[in-house]
Amino acid sequence: MTCWNSLNVILYSVVICALLDFGPSRVLAQVNIKANYDYGDKFKVAEYKMKVVLNCNVAESTQDQKYLWKWFKEEDSINTDSDDPHHVSVSDNTLTINRFVENDAGKYSCKLYNQNNPKELGQKSFQVVLKPYLKLPKTATFLDGDKIEIECNVFGVPKPEISWKFENNTILTGDNVYFMPNKRNITNAILVLDPITMKNRGNFYCIGKNDFVWEPVMSGPSYVRIKDKMAAFWPFLGICAEVIILCLIIFVYENKRFKSEFEESDTDQGPETNNAIEGGGDVRHRK
């Protein structure tokens, strides 16, 4: 019985070693890795054009272990020799993305290896998402009665849901209000007012949210000015009036000057003409 038990122990050990070390279905001795998630067990939230740092650490490490870290995006290895080092940098167990943009969103993985053994010891995955970023022009000027469009410049992964506010009131679709997608097919990214009226003068905001932010993100204000359609015509009329008045002044002045010169010339010629007439009379009398 004792021999049979010993044989079972030997066979069990052989099987375990085979599972650990041999064959395509071998089981690797895993290492406990901790990652700097923002929430949950995989999510990292990035902000537009800001730095993002992904970090992995071995939870329990021994001094004699020499680890090698490798980083991947999806299934592609990240190599700073081929990637832009000013945009992405890798330092052992840390991956840094400078000025994060939409194309940087996705699945990242850190994988741990023993330097003396090519076997993978463990890995952690990050699902990196982009917090909504929204921007409107600071000011805009339109004419009363025109059809106008205000576009919210939106970035975010996944695509944010967009809503709008005017001052403190939510904007809803109405008789002269509706929304359109932008060129990137983000729903409600363009606000259309047709026509716009004087009562639409004020501050507009666009608001974005997705499943990975706790609170909606609001853009800065865009102040909309409304001008009367005749506003552009009044300066023209003013210029025309000034020109007409100037012409009248010149005409009156020239007319007076002409009359004055005419009277002066008539006065200067009067005595000579009389003398000529009297002289002529004397000649006829001598005949």
Selection from 109, 127, 120 nearest residue 73 by Cα? 109
User: Is residue 162 predicted with pLDDT exceeding 60?
Assistant: yes
Is residue 151 predicted with pLDDT exceeding 90?
A: yes
Pairing of strands 139-143, 67-73: unpaired
Instruction: Find how far residue 108's CA is from the centre of its chain.
Output: 25
Lookup result for tokens 């081929």: 82
% of the chain exceeding 70 in pLDDT? 76
What tokens appear for 170 in the block? 């939510």
Please report, for the chain, the start and end positions of each structural domain, with discontinuous segments joined by +.
16-131, 136-229
Residue 271 has a pLDDT of: 54
State pLDDT tens for residues 60-86. 765 557 889 999 999 999 977 656 767
Instruction: Supply the pLDDT for residue 117.
Output: 80
Query: Does pLDDT of 262 surpass 70?
Result: no
pLDDT at residue 86, as a whole number: 78
Burial of 64 per CB tally in 10 Å (0-12, 13-18, 19+): exposed
CA dihedral 95, 100, 106, 107 (to 10 degrees): 10
Kindly tell me if the per-residue pLDDT of 280 is higher than 80: no
Q: Calculate mean pLDDT across residues 45-62.
A: 90
If one compares 15 and 124, the residue with the highest pLDDT of the two is 124
Q: What is the pLDDT of residue 18?
A: 34
Q: Which residues, 6 or more positions from 27, have their beta carbon under 8 angstroms from its beta carbon?
A: 19, 20
Reported as a single tens digit per residue, the pLDDT across 97-119 is 999 999 999 999 999 998 888 88
Give yes or no for residue 224 having a pLDDT over 70. yes
Q: What average pLDDT score do residues 11-17 get?
A: 33
Structure tokens at 183: 């060129």
Q: What pLDDT was estimated at residue 64? A: 59
Phi, psi angles (nearest 5°) of residue 232 = -75, -20
Domain 136-229 class in CATH? mainly beta
| Three-state DSSP state, 274 | helix
Amino acid at 178: Y
**Computed over its alpha carbons, how large is the radius of gyration of the chain?**
44
* Higher pLDDT, residue 44 or 81: 44
pTM above 0.75, yes or no: no
Question: Does this chain's domain 16-131 share its CATH topology with 136-229?
Answer: yes
Q: What is the domain class of 16-131 according to CATH?
A: mainly beta
Helix (H) or strand (E) holding 149: strand 148-151
